Structure 1
Amino acid sequence: MSDTRAAVDAVAAGGAAPLVGAPPVPPARAAGRSVVRALRGRRLARSLPAVLSWLLLTGLVLVALVGPLLVSADPLRQTSSALLSPGAAGHPLGTDDLGRDELARLVHGARPLLLVSFAATALAAGVGTLIGLVAGYVGGIVEQVLMRLVDLALAFPSILLVILLVAAAGPGTVSLVFGIGISLAPGLARLARALTAREAARDYVVAARIGGTGVPRILVRELLPNIGGPLLAQVVMTLSIAAGFAAGLSYLGLGIQPPTPDWGYMVQAGQEFLFSAPRLVVLPAMFTLLFVVACNFVGDDLRDALDPRGTA
């Protein structure tokens, strides 16, 4: 959660109150800067690592979406020959200890991991943003109660909280998404609260409130588009944490259950053959690592493009 805490501290340090006598900002959403408008005129992928990360992330998502349609081999079908070496007839990457095609298992294993990662991140973003918006805009006792609960959740190590939630709900995809999503929501809530508190003092929000606009409309139509940029960058970074948690829990047997191919479980199943067939461990671990690293670089790139302190 260090990235989230640093982002919140930066927002808190950079948020200044409007100057008295300054010309009023038009009380419309144009007063703010939505994600689309912020990206317009901003250049993404301005460095080689960012370009490679965008390409890698896009490629892995495409593999998860369309890869199973392009690989004809059945990832669950066992052959009579186990641990075939790469290049064997019909098995470009060989087979595992049960004679299952390794290429098919790698391709089919991308979808469960990415599905859990995106779903858990979406849950964390939804819950965290809602808490942060309400706390930052309403303030008072509501903010105190909500943020104390957030601080209490942040006091627990995230991985420990995930394990406790998943273990309590039982292993499986649904419990994995719920456990990871709830454990990652407090960090996003803290950032959303800091961003909302800064925006709530601006003229366009004050004008909307004076004009009789309801609280839900202000939160959704006025505040959310204007805090969406920094939140989006942090959500993409959170996606990398979710992927690491999903793979780690599958490795421990608390995540996606066999026989469904999954990169985390494939590492656990192949570690017995680390020296005789290292590809069974290295390949799924490498793809998981590449996805995590790509998400972090893409998140950094988005943060540079959507940094509110760098916009006029």
Structure 2
Amino acid sequence: MTLQQIPGPELAAPPVDGDQTGRARGHDRMRVRVRGVPWGVWIFGGLAVALVLLGAVGPYLVGDVTTNVMSRRMLSPGSGGHLLGTDGQGRDVLARVVAGARPSMISALLPVAVAGIVGGGLGIGAGLAPRRVHALVMRTLDVLYAFPAVLLAIAIAAALGPGTTTTVISLSVVLVPPLARITEAETIRLTGMDFMAAARASGAGPVAIAGRQVLPNVAPALLVYATSLVGLALVFAGGMSFLGLGVAPPQPEWGQMIAEQRQNMYTAPMTALVPAIVIFLASLVFNQLGDALRDLLDVRREGR
């Protein structure tokens, strides 16, 4: 998966202040949307919420998952009350997967949130700025965008040292350019519309236009793209932990668990396969949620 732009939905212009008819139409459109929520939003949205909640409460559900118990090492799934068996240090695999959800979710969600705020602000600012400022901002971001995302994240993490904070910083830097580009493209598309001309004619300043006219219209495209990037960030974070640039053992993290147990792949494959499968499934959930949100927020469907 690469950092390619997802086509942004054609967003409807907001009604001009005082246009009660426009507001009524907007409310009617929203009610129709809510009634027609795609099934994927409910299913994958519920799974995404479950993953977030697992990250929030997971460590409290399983207790200590770092102590080695060599007397029960490498138990097969189902043995001794361990549903997924134990790893090479005698620790319950399922308990470590549950506890590892917190750093994994933090490493995936927080960079996307930070990059969405920073990239969205830069994209809107560049789209509304004079041509020279626009070129300066976007060409600077293109320098970062030109680097392979994985290599750039690894380089930043290697310079800062391992840890969850390092993972968040490095992935945030990597994700800012694509989010800024899609926001800038949507902003430029909006600048030629009638409601933007009406806002400028009414004397609204750049900040008011950005906050009241542009942001509500670019937010759906930004949300869709950012949601799809959570899965990519989860894979990147797992890869960085696998290389020793994320959470340090014995604290569990899905990518770090794969690295720690890779030497047991032939004797006890479940110890490494389980966290790998969890990363794949969690990434799939957020990718599918992004697709479902795109179907929900794409207002072109209203004209069909």
TM-score band by shorter chain is 0.7 to 0.9
Inter-CA distance 252–41: structure 2 relative to 1 (3 Å threshold):
same
Displacement of 1:51 in angstroms is: 5.5
**Separation (CA, whole Å) in 2 of partners of 1:52 and 1:222:** 32
2:69 matches 1:79:
yes
* Structure 1 match to 2:291: 300
Whether contact under 8 Å (1:93, 1:102) holds in the other structure is yes
**Which residue of 2 is the match for residue 21 of structure 1?**
none
**Inter-partner Cα distance in structure 2 for 1:29 and 1:225:** 17
Question: Is residue 120 from structure 1 mapped to residue 111 from structure 2 by the alignment?
Answer: yes
**In the TM superposition, what is the alpha-carbon distance from 1:268 to its structure 2 partner?**
0.7
Q: Indicate the residue corresponding to 1:5 in structure 2.
A: 5
Q: 81, 87, 95: which is aligned to 1:96?
A: 87
- 1:177-222 CA deviation, whole Å, 9 max, x = no partner? 0110111110111100010111222232222223232322221222
Instruction: Say whether the 8 Å CA contact 2:3–2:178 is kept in structure 1.
Output: no
Relative distance call for 1:264 and 1:227 in structure 2 (3 A) is same
In structure 2, how many angstroms separate the alpha carbons of the residues matched to 1:36 and 1:153? 40
2:169 aligned with 1:181: no
**Equivalent residue runs for 1:103-182 within 5 Å:** 103-182=94-173
Deviations 1:33-84 (A, max 9, x none): xx9997642233346xx6553343233223222333333x411122232112
Please show how residues 213-228 of structure 1 align to structure 2 within 5 Å: 213-228=204-219
Q: Which residue of 2 aligns with 1:272?
A: 263
Deviation at 1:131, TM superposition (A): 1.0
User: Per-residue CA shift, 1:253-281, capped at 9, x if unaligned?
Assistant: 11122221000000111111112111111
Distance in structure 1 (CA, Å) of the matches to 2:44 and 2:208: 36
Deviations 1:100-120 (A, max 9, x none): 222211100011000111101
Alignment of 1:250-289 (within 5 A): 250-289=241-280
Matched, 1:58 2:60: no
Residue 44 of structure 1 aligns with an amino acid whose one-letter code is V
Asked whether the equivalents of residues 11 and 299 of structure 2 are also in contact (C-alpha less than 8 Å), the reply is: no
Confirm or deny that 1:44 pairs with 2:37. Answer: yes
Please list every run of 5 or more consecutive structure 2 residues that lacks an aligned counterpart in the other structure.
none
Q: Work out the CA distance in 2 between the residues paired with 1:309 and 1:141.
A: 33
Change (3 A) 1:89 1:28: farther
Q: Do the aligned residues in 1 keep the contact of 2:150 with 2:236 (CA within 8 Å)?
A: yes
2:138 and 2:28 map into 1 onto residues whose CA distance is: 30
Length, aligned pairs only: 298
**Alignment gaps of 5+ in structure 1:** 19-23
Contact kept in structure 2, 1:4 and 1:188, CA below 8 Å: no
Alpha carbons of structure 1 residues 80 and 271: separation in structure 2 relative to 1, 3 Å: closer
SS class of match (1:134) = helix
Deviation at 1:90, TM superposition (A): 4.4
**Deviation readout 1:106-160 (Å, 9 max, x if unpaired):** 1000110001111010111111101110111124101111111122222111111
Aligned 8 A contact 1:39 1:306 in 2: no
Detail structure 1 runs of 4+ shifted over 4 Å in the superposition.
27-32, 35-40
Give the alignment's Cα RMSD to 1 decimal.
2.9
